Structure 1
């Protein structure tokens, strides 16, 4: 059995891991590498032959895990893609959105070149809608905790991981040369007591573990719950100050959890009614998929549905569909909450809301997720007094706040607990992926102090698992 980390090695994005059993090749995740965003075509440079991959196992739908699948298919992969039912549907939605983003960038590039009398054309899309549809046709869905025999020597089981609807850790039992060994890939590990999502389940004992390390060395804020944090902020901004609260949120996952939390707050009378706008067409489509796969939401959400109705609908909540309606939100002068994408403020309708509100003293922008360096969200959180939005430099008069109560990643303690559920003497090795080097090292140091054998793998290096 051999393991090669082809993506998310000593970085966060582009998860892609190759497990080889004899001549049989299994690819776990096939994500877009955002580190290559300056030249998206670099994602075509696979360090293996796509047509030689026998099967792909997809842990969850996020683009840094799924976003390069259509490229893999376009370049010759013709096997099955195994995932949970929600992951299949959410991935299709996200991949279609990726095509739109590629096309927008290509058209923008062409416009810029024509403007400067240079006609070589814009950057070519990495893949097209046709390639997404070819990819979707390869999905084979498997439920949680249901062993699935990939071939005579390999059995796969998906274990709930939290993080996103349908997200799973992939556990393989492998028979090779008459010996049985096991290896697990965590995917992204979620948090306990997260709105809508089930808690991550402990993994069974395995011989090898490939673990994400995004929040290695970092702890989430303790003390206040999601609802307590939101009540405190809404009460100050919308009730006492009669202002507006803008919450940038990813359309899939974060928005649904946020809406459910707001539903519980307003339906229980913890705050007087406040108008809530969800301004993201993709969020509306994703919410329909959450309804479709309602058996995958957590017991609290299912119980709420039985007793009080749809957890994603309540009085004063409006899902904004058309661009015309989105622009009308800016003319709503009563106190309100606007939830819009993208979460890091790079594109999407959120930019319109920022353009009209960044100079509003009675506006608060509440970040509920991570903002990568270089993004508009990062610049606002850094404290820049002037930011560039829609071709204009605007002074920042709005209040900028951030909370991590809705972060969907487990923190340092959660990661440690997940790994330490394995016996240090029985576990032959831990491979840390999907994290910055500093995060990986902090996690590795603490694990090694407790007797775990830890590797921070380099990209493209093959490890023999004996």
Structure 2
């Protein structure tokens, strides 16, 4: 049995791991690599023949884990994609949204000497390829043992992070020996709005773990409700301004909306108009409703007592573009929730363009912003940003909270590994993290007696021993 780390190696995006047994090739995740220096078209070149892959196992729907699946199919993959039911539904809408993003980049034009010229790269895939991919989905419930072959079985373990997100536990019989290997996917955190807590993994021989928040601890001493109440009070109640919250349409928006519902239901603030400006978020919210049996107990109890967690009086969902444009003419205090979370495209850029120079505007970041993104530039304090080919001064207040981060922090990651006996766990492979995070988590785990490796991209490991 061999493991090759083909993605998210010493970086965050592009998760893709190849597990090879004597007669079977398994790909765990097939995500888009969108690091700062990576061109979109580079995702088209797989370091293996896609037709040689027998099955893909998908941990969750986020594009850095799922976003290159249609390219794999387009290039010759003919097997099944195994995932949980919510992951199948959420992945479909995210992949279709990716097509729109690709086409938008391709169709982006500029005028030069009066002539229209294309300035975007060719799409990696189109809607047809997405639907070809969706047809390959086979859904498996949490905790159910699924036999892939006579020698290989699979189990999905809930890890929070996103509806349907799972750690993958594979049991493999080879040469008369049984080996177990687990892939954490992305690990969530406890007491997160809407989502269940991550569960401990069964004992395994090898563990491939994410490390996004290695060396970093989430804020303590204030609850999410308290932080949001304080921010809204400052931005919209004390002063007649507006609060703009960039939020990923899937996962972050639903948890944010539910928390705002609780705040206004409890009467912690006077009524403030809230716009969720994202068609993708509307569709995703319906998927959350469809799989309501998988949300956490607090969310279920709120539903029983107060009704739909994602619907309340102050809240309006904005679907049509004309409605989105009209928000600029809404002159009362308001909250605007829009995507994308890192500000790299989407309707959020329209709201930024009209408000970045507004002294009475607050922009609250609630998630991670990768290096090189517009969100990262605002967070680091750039006084001028470029939007719609214009350089704009930043007069809006820029704030950030990690209380809605969907990733477990350093202690959560360490505790995930510590559920394993260091005398029995052969190796921990750390992926999906920046250099500092990888190093910090590696040192902490080595201090606990674990054997840790930080793989390079393309590095292969023999797991037969």
SS in 1 for 2:317: strand
| Corresponding residue number in structure 2 for 1:26 | 26
* 1:130-279 alignment runs, 5 A limit: 130-279=128-277
Matching of residues 284-433 of structure 1 within 5 Å: 284-433=282-431
Tell which deviates more after alignment, 349-358 or 407-416: 349-358
How far 1:282 moved relative to its partner? 0.6
Residue 79 of structure 2 is matched in structure 1 by: 79
State whether residues 113 and 121 of structure 1, in contact with CA within 8 Å, keep that contact through their aligned partners in structure 2. no
In the TM superposition, residue 118 of structure 1 has moved relative to its aligned partner by: 9.6
Q: Aligned residue for 2:57?
A: 57
Q: Which deviations, in whole Å up to 9, do the C-alpha atoms of 1:387-426 show, x marking residues without a partner?
A: 2222222222211111100000111111000011101111
2:173 and 2:111 map into 1 onto residues whose CA distance is 56
Q: Match for residue 126 of structure 2?
A: 128
The whole-number CA distance in structure 1 between the counterparts of 2:95 and 2:287 is 15
Secondary structure of the equivalent of 1:409? Answer: coil
Structure 1, unaligned stretches of length 5 or more?
A: none
Task: Report the Cα offset of residue 38 of structure 1.
Answer: 4.7
How far did 1:437 drift?
2.0
Distance between the aligned counterparts of 2:267 and 2:207, measured in 1? 46
- Is 1:13–2:13 an aligned residue pair? yes
1:112, distance to aligned residue in structure 2 (A):
4.4
SS at match of 2:39: helix
- Distance in 2 (CA, whole Å) between partners of 1:186 and 1:349 is 32
CA spacing shift, 1:223–1:122, aligned 2, 3 Å: closer
1:429-464 Cα distance to aligned partner (Å, 9 max, x none): 100011112211111111112210011111112101
In structure 2, runs of 5+ residues without a counterpart are none
How far apart, in 1, do the equivalents of 2:386 and 2:347 lie? 16
Rounded to whole Å, the distance in 1 between the matches of 2:11 and 2:158 is 24
TM-score, normalised on structure 2? 0.97
With normalisation by structure 1, the TM-score equals: 0.97
Q: Is the 8 A contact 2:110 2:118 kept in 1?
A: no
**Alignment match, 2:90:** 90
What is the number of equivalent residue pairs in this alignment? 464
Shift of 1:358: 1.4
Cα displacement (A) at 1:121: 7.8
Distance 1:396 1:176 in 2: 60
d(CA) in 2 for partners of 1:393, 1:118: 23
CA displacement 1:308-350 (0-9 Å, x = unmatched): 1000000110001111111111111111111011111111111
